[in-house]
Structure 1
Amino acid sequence: MTNPTLRFRPLRPAVAADGTTSLDLLVTIACAELPAQQPANLRPPLNLALVIDRSGSMAGRKLSDARKAARFLANELTPRDRLAIVSFDDAVTVVVPSTPVTDPLRFITAINTIHCGGSTALFDGWLAGAEQVAEHLDPTQLNRVLLLSDGQANAGLTDPRRIAARVAESTGRGISTSAFGLGDGFDEDLMGAIAGAGDGTFAFIESPSQLADLYASELQGLAATVGRRVSLGLRAKNGAQLKDVLNDLQTTAFGNFQLPNLRAGQELNVGVRLQLPAWTPNQEIASVRLAWDAPGADGRCKQIETLTLPVLSAAELAALEPDAAVAEQFAVLEANRARRRAIEELDRGQVEAASSCLQGASALLAALPDSALARRELRLLKERQALLHDDSNLTRKRLSRESLRSSTTVWEARDDEQA
């Protein structure tokens, strides 16, 4: 597999020799496409645990569609893959222990026995799934827990910080976690934190009928994963200062930034704001170190790039046209921050203040040249504003999903499926 490409794209392609420069810089990590027809046996084997909430609130269509989607997942795996099925309410049941998927019918038959129960011991369910994966942990495989819940953690360990910390410990051992919230009653803050700490995918599933599409997307994403436990080290040099990272990424124990998985054919964009004193030509401005675990590789993979830019007078720099693509990406990142501020206002009961946050983001995007991305973001923000007064809970969940796009792998249904 070809290494990812690191690219620097400044808003203006120079810095000032005779004054302070505020440098907006887009750091792009791009991964090459996989071959158009990649045989299934070329992807790393999967070691999965599907953890299904069976608490009372899952009764009816939710659990019926959850079972249907689980059957779909079992049918999509191969004998090279392992799958465990775990269900939970206030108690945990290992429905099928981790087993190679040589006979999907065994899993399908067991899945059909899952019925609704009582409360929601979400952490205990996740832990049982992680233990199933850990029993067959293999660094050459993709080891992941898929956690599906429609509710709040209300039995066993319920503290979101402690749960996320335990998930992060598991991630450090090589077991990632995706968190799928179903319907309008789940805790989006907890599930988002689990996906972020778990180096996995966060999904807000508004209709149970979307589950099969979600699982298909998750399998495609796992097959395309070329880097896990991805970190980005940013070091300003020669008096330059790192003022902001607009993605609001979590930091690692070494002070680097945690990125989502690297996937073939996808780009990750990180918005960085640096401040430079009067600059001397040919000085390095910053260095960027990308590190990741590649499936099947021995040890961490690393790539380092350094940034230098031409030096102009402040007047010449101000006269340069900004890069429209960089301005657009920064506006989207700012809009995601505005969504987080709107959530904070909603939590305080300040609906008008939340609306004002979204209106400010819309104004920033509306000032940009017309593009498909800007139009889509403006449409989403308009829809969220329109829904604020009618259904603040649903608005909050949608805002949370969209705000996490800057820092976490987020699944979103096709536009024609979304309200």
Structure 2
Amino acid sequence: MSREYLKSAVTFGFFLIVISVTMAKLHGGYLADDNSPAPQPSVVSHGDGPLGISAHLVQDKIFFGGDGTVSLALTMSADVAAVSEDDGVSQHVDMVVVLDQSGSMSGQKIEYARQAILDLLSGLSSQDRFALIGYADRVWCYADLNYATDTNRLRLQNLIRQLAPGGNTNLGGGLQEGINTLLTADRIGNVEKVILISDGLANRGIVDPESLGNMASLAIEKEFAISTVGVGEDFNEQLMTAIADRGAGNYYYLANPQSFAAIFQQEFQHAKTVAARAMEISIPLPDGVSLLYASGYPVSVSGNRAVVHPGDLLAGQTRKLFLTLQFPTSSEITYRLQGLAIRYLHQGNPYTATFPTPFQIACVNNPDEVVASIVHEEWEQKVLQEDFNALREKVALELKKGKKQEALQQIDSYYQQQNLLNAEIGSAKVSVHLDEELNELRDIVEQTFTGSVQQVEMQQKSNAKSLQYEGYKERRAQK
């Protein structure tokens, strides 16, 4: 491979940084000088919280005159014992279900939804609380947030069996009522969750996606979570994903309404086993530096910091997220990044994890040095988790728009870039991935646009939603 060709690849930003964390207090800072960084050690911070947050700097050089992109791989884990009843502490749940009752929910959808809610109720303890909201043209509060006692359970069961569909989709009204129902109740320390269900497009009340996302973002401020469930092929998956992301919850795609019960049970069990909630990753942004991507999560910027809310971490769970920053490359200097922190709640108590050792990134004029600084295993995982699933989401959008050639071009461009660098790194896993998984992705694109006009229309919807959902889950390490 020619040095010029490799230089082109590096310029496009094939650069990684991985950091490591554990507990302490937030502090920040930034320095730049013209010295190359020393080899980066693993970093372990202080603290007595239940999370283990660790990794190391896997690449410490970017190319002079390149795009300056740097990825931070952040690994967070919680031991199974982080949530245990052995010490007499049990987590209880406040669950608000917001159900789409528009006309398109008729038939099996409403039948399975009713049964799933009944099954959920049967699993609640008398210390859990439950509320039920319905929406169509109007919004109905069927049950305020109350304890799941035998008396309340019986009343709710009779009510749920009578739920019927009809009308349009006032999704925004239902979401707002669900949030209000949770926040106007006494807060007793339970893990609080709203589950929003929809099978169609918002066409009544508030329909603007940005406004609906802003509504959901109240969950972060008030320290609860909003999860969303899209049913069938006619809802807006980008909107439902955005509401879940802005609401620090999870998004689910149900092609078949028979899966309602499994999703409700999964959300309930997740709420019972949360080790860290209201998680916030705070990233320092020195002058000229920006955070481009955060494993698909929304990024907000305030002053010289970027903030990401990655949802919850469950007991026994490990998640690795990739944060992609961009540094200036107009001078051969070394950047020192210090002050990245993670804040979260564990059983109602606040904790902060920080990085006491600065992470150093050198801008150099030799592409060989840049490539040599890559830790192969970390680059390999970034390709398979972050890059490929970002590609899936891009291809899904092109399928949704009916743009076959653009979808294939996205795949070809991805192949060329990753294959170019892998010729230097030599990852067998990436080689297999570029051969097998990309061929599967091409086959999906081809199949989407094969058949009658009606078949193609349905295949566009279903394949776009399936691809987007797989990319969403795996990019955010929610498998």
Give the alignment's TM-score, normalised by structure 2.
Answer: 0.73
Find the counterpart in structure 2 of residue 356 from structure 1: 409
> Is the aligned partner of 1:245 residue 2:245?
no
SS in 2 for 1:48: strand
- Cα separation, 1, equivalents of 2:399 and 2:76: 36
Deviations 1:181-202 (A, max 9, x none): 0011111122111111111110
Query: Which of 187-196 and 350-359 deviates more?
Result: 350-359
Query: Which of 310-319 and 115-124 deviates more?
Result: 310-319
**Is the CA contact 1:137–1:143 (under 8 Å) kept in the aligned structure 2?**
no
> Is the aligned partner of 1:69 residue 2:120?
no
Please state how far the C-alpha of 1:214 moved relative to its aligned partner: 1.1
Find the counterpart in structure 2 of residue 109 from structure 1: 158
Write the letter of the residue equivalent to 1:261.
Answer: D
* Change beyond 3 A, Cα 1:97–1:180: same
- Cα separation, 2, equivalents of 1:268 and 1:205: 25
Deviations 1:307-350 (A, max 9, x none): 34698995566445632243322443122332343344345532
Q: How does 1:259-338 map to 2 (within 5 A)?
A: 259-264=310-315, 265-273=317-325, 275=327, 278=332, 284-297=336-349, 300-305=350-355, 306-308=357-359, 318-319=371-372, 322-338=375-391
> Is the aligned partner of 1:185 residue 2:234?
yes
Find the counterpart in structure 2 of residue 385 from structure 1: 445
> Is the aligned partner of 1:4 residue 2:64?
no
Can you give the 5+ residue segments of structure 2 that lack an aligned partner in the other structure? 1-47, 450-455
> Is the aligned partner of 1:35 residue 2:73?
no
Write the letter of the residue equivalent to 1:289.
Answer: A
**Is the CA contact 2:342–2:353 (under 8 Å) kept in the aligned structure 1?**
yes
Please state how far the C-alpha of 1:53 moved relative to its aligned partner: 1.1
Deviations 1:85-108 (A, max 9, x none): 122211222222221012233322
Find the counterpart in structure 2 of residue 256 from structure 1: 307
* Change beyond 3 A, Cα 1:263–1:307: farther
**Is the CA contact 1:332–1:377 (under 8 Å) kept in the aligned structure 2?**
no
Q: How does 1:214-253 map to 2 (within 5 A)?
A: 214-235=263-284, 241-242=289-290, 244-245=292-293, 247-252=295-300
Deviations 1:378-410 (A, max 9, x none): 587356434431411112212332343377686
Please state how far the C-alpha of 1:295 moved relative to its aligned partner: 3.4
* Change beyond 3 A, Cα 1:43–1:358: farther
- Cα separation, 1, equivalents of 2:80 and 2:307: 28
- Cα separation, 1, equivalents of 2:403 and 2:126: 53
Find the counterpart in structure 2 of residue 86 from structure 1: 133
Deviations 1:258-281 (A, max 9, x none): 32222222213223345476456x
**Is the CA contact 1:200–1:260 (under 8 Å) kept in the aligned structure 2?**
yes
- Cα separation, 1, equivalents of 2:290 and 2:207: 36
Find the counterpart in structure 2 of residue 56 from structure 1: 103
* Change beyond 3 A, Cα 1:351–1:124: same
Query: Which of 155-164 and 59-68 deviates more?
Result: 155-164
- Cα separation, 2, equivalents of 1:240 and 1:318: 24
* Change beyond 3 A, Cα 1:360–1:217: farther
Deviations 1:126-156 (A, max 9, x none): 2222222112252722111111111111112
Q: How does 1:188-203 map to 2 (within 5 A)?
A: 188-203=237-252
Write the letter of the residue equivalent to 2:198.
Answer: S
* Change beyond 3 A, Cα 1:287–1:108: same
* Change beyond 3 A, Cα 1:36–1:162: closer
- Cα separation, 2, equivalents of 1:273 and 1:162: 28
- Cα separation, 2, equivalents of 1:312 and 1:184: 47
Query: Which of 167-176 and 56-65 deviates more?
Result: 167-176
Find the counterpart in structure 2 of residue 370 from structure 1: 429
* Change beyond 3 A, Cα 1:59–1:324: same
CA RMSD between the two structures: 3.6
Match of 1:98 among 133, 141, 145: 145
Please state how far the C-alpha of 1:357 moved relative to its aligned partner: 1.5
- Cα separation, 1, equivalents of 2:233 and 2:178: 24
Write the letter of the residue equivalent to 1:394.
Answer: S
Find the counterpart in structure 2 of residue 26 from structure 1: 72
Deviations 1:218-277 (A, max 9, x none): 12221222333322222266x894564352432336332232222222213223345476
Find the counterpart in structure 2 of residue 143 from structure 1: 192
Find the counterpart in structure 2 of residue 417 from structure 1: none
Work out which of the two has the higher radius of gyration on C-alpha atoms and give 1 or 2: 2
**Is the CA contact 2:228–2:243 (under 8 Å) kept in the aligned structure 1?**
yes
> Is the aligned partner of 1:206 residue 2:294?
no
Identity of aligned residues (%): 20
* Change beyond 3 A, Cα 1:23–1:348: closer
* Change beyond 3 A, Cα 1:162–1:191: same
Please state how far the C-alpha of 1:16 moved relative to its aligned partner: 8.4
**Is the CA contact 2:399–2:463 (under 8 Å) kept in the aligned structure 1?**
no
**Is the CA contact 1:362–1:381 (under 8 Å) kept in the aligned structure 2?**
no
Find the counterpart in structure 1 of residue 17 from structure 2: none
Write the letter of the residue equivalent to 2:73.
Answer: V
Please state how far the C-alpha of 1:70 moved relative to its aligned partner: 0.6
* Change beyond 3 A, Cα 1:73–1:284: same
Match of 2:466 among 398, 402, 409: 398
- Cα separation, 2, equivalents of 1:86 and 1:336: 34
* Change beyond 3 A, Cα 1:54–1:248: closer
Please state how far the C-alpha of 1:46 moved relative to its aligned partner: 1.0
Write the letter of the residue equivalent to 1:329.
Answer: K
Please state how far the C-alpha of 1:39 moved relative to its aligned partner: 3.8
Write the letter of the residue equivalent to 1:46.
Answer: V
